[in-house]
Amino acid sequence: MSIDVVIKDASIIIDLLKLKLLPKIFKLPYKFYTTDFILNEIIQQDQRMLIDAFIEMGSISIIESNTEALERISGIFNKIKKLSFADSSVIFYASEMDAIIFTSDNRMRKEAQNRKIEVHGILWIFKKMIKNKLISKSIAYQKLSKLIKQNMYLPKAECEKCLKEWGGK
């Protein structure tokens, strides 16, 4: 079985941290990376300390950008004005590494799809964690209900479908 490479952006890392699910995701059969620029976007001290601990444990690796990569990331950033420089770094490295992107950012999702990069969001992650018996449907229901209150950008119809499937009314 091959292990897919996943590059995560700040939005998905922060969502998983807030839901106290970040440790669970590392039990999925993927090799997790993020970029140095995404890491720099995580500025809340408590969140950064947790991420640093996962880096120390080897659960997530940081991709450090060299001069050549910076030039190519800048090219993406200058071409796609809707993405931050950090998000552009995720697009660049996902393309270079033939990696999957995990994101909660709709702009990044659309750009990844335009570039034929596999991309998934939080609902897909919940489904994978349920399938791999890392969380129960009941826990997924509770966590998604909490996330919906915090994140108004989630796809409402898809969230309602998941909540219903996972034990809702």
- In tens, the pLDDT along 43-83 reads 899 999 999 999 999 999 999 999 999 999 999 999 988 89
CATH architecture group of domain 4-122: 3-Layer(aba) Sandwich (3.40)
Domain map (residue ranges) of the chain: 4-122
Contact yes or no for 129/135 (Cβ under 8 A)? yes
Q: What is the pLDDT of residue 3?
A: 53
Q: Which residue, among 1, 3, 15, has the nearest Cα to 102 in the 3D structure? A: 15
The pLDDT of residue 42 is above 60: yes
The residue type of 21 is L
CA distances from 98 to 66, 92, 116, 141, 146 (A): 19, 10, 10, 32, 33
* Average pLDDT in the chain: 91
125-159 pLDDT tens trace: 999 999 999 999 999 999 999 999 887 788 889 99
Summary count for the chain: helices (H), strands (E) = 10, 5
pLDDT for res 132: 96
